[in-house]
Amino acid sequence: MSSLYIESTPSEVSKANGIHLLTYSSPNGQKVQILLEELALLYGIQWTTSIINIMQNEQKEDWYLRLNPNGKIPVVVDNCRSAPFPVIETSAELLYLAEKYDKDYALSFQDPLERSQMIQWLFFWHGSGAPPYGQLWYFSKFAKDKNPAAIERFRNETLRVFGVLELHLSGKNSDGQPREYLAGSGKGRYSLADIGAYPWVAKWEVTGFEKKDMEAFPSVLAWLERIEQREAVKTGTGDKYQKKP
């Protein structure tokens, strides 16, 4: 048995073949769920999934920390190699899976500048979007004691970040031409950059934003609508990833 796995590792994980996804259908989990569903439609790829109960801290158990010492979902384990290879951190997982399977660059870019732009927006969300949004989610939904200063700080920062997306998508600061997607020349093309940010931004109502807050971001709302139509997005955020009782 690989040292990656210990006695307590569930057999569905240690005995998995091919790509195995350990996830929970939160925004971070949904990024990778959506990409795998897109790749299934494009290339017929297959994988197996374990739903991790983060409400019961399954991601902090010893067996899980072997796969991800950071104790967070999701993790992708690639069992197609000579030894199982775990990939952590959602943006790295998206890049790994696209590099492995998306040979036609349908969700990525071959042109180095467009590819760089995709990575810039992927990193933007990973480093500047998800952290304040995640804190807002925690302080507004889960924290036992209400902390108005924390809620205000992370709410304002999340709105600021929505404003960054709006500025980029509206084209106001560039050639004035609105963009449809975050990366790619012209109007842009749906890519990993959109997959990275979409599942978070789409949850604006859950974290207490109201329609009137979102009126300042018409290009972002149009971008959300465009992406939510996609079959893979519906499947990747849907019932398939809810744990069966």
Ligand X SMILES: N[C@@H](CCC(=O)N[C@@H](CS)C(=O)NCC(=O)O)C(=O)O
20 vs 126 by CB, closer to ligand X? 126
Distance between CA atoms of residues 149 and 171, nearest Å = 33
Helix (H), strand (E) at residue 86: strand 85-87
For ligand X, the binding residue among 14, 23, 28, 170 (CB under 6 A) is 28
Binding mask 106-145 for ligand X (x = CB under 6 A): --------------------x-------------------
Q: Does 26 bind ligand X (CB under 6 A)?
A: yes
Q: Which of these, 89, 90, 118, 122, lies nearest to 105 by C-alpha position?
A: 118
Binding mask 31-70 for ligand X (x = CB under 6 A): -----------------------x----x-----------
90 vs 108 by CB, closer to ligand X? 90
Q: Which residue has the tokens 């971070």?
A: 28
Distance between CA atoms of residues 166 and 243, nearest Å = 35
**What is the pairing mode between strands 19-23 and 75-78?**
antiparallel
Q: Which residues 140-199 are close enough to bind ligand X by CB under 6 A?
A: none
For ligand X, the binding residue among 10, 45, 61, 89 (CB under 6 A) is 89
Distance between CA atoms of residues 11 and 15, nearest Å = 5
217 within 8 A of 163, measured Cβ to Cβ: yes
Q: Does 72 bind ligand X (CB under 6 A)?
A: yes
Q: How many residues bind ligand X (CB under 6 A)?
A: 11
For ligand X, the binding residue among 10, 71, 86, 208 (CB under 6 A) is 71
Helices (H) and strands (E) in the chain, counts: 11, 4
Binding site for ligand X (CB under 6 A): 26-28, 54, 59, 71-73, 89-90, 126
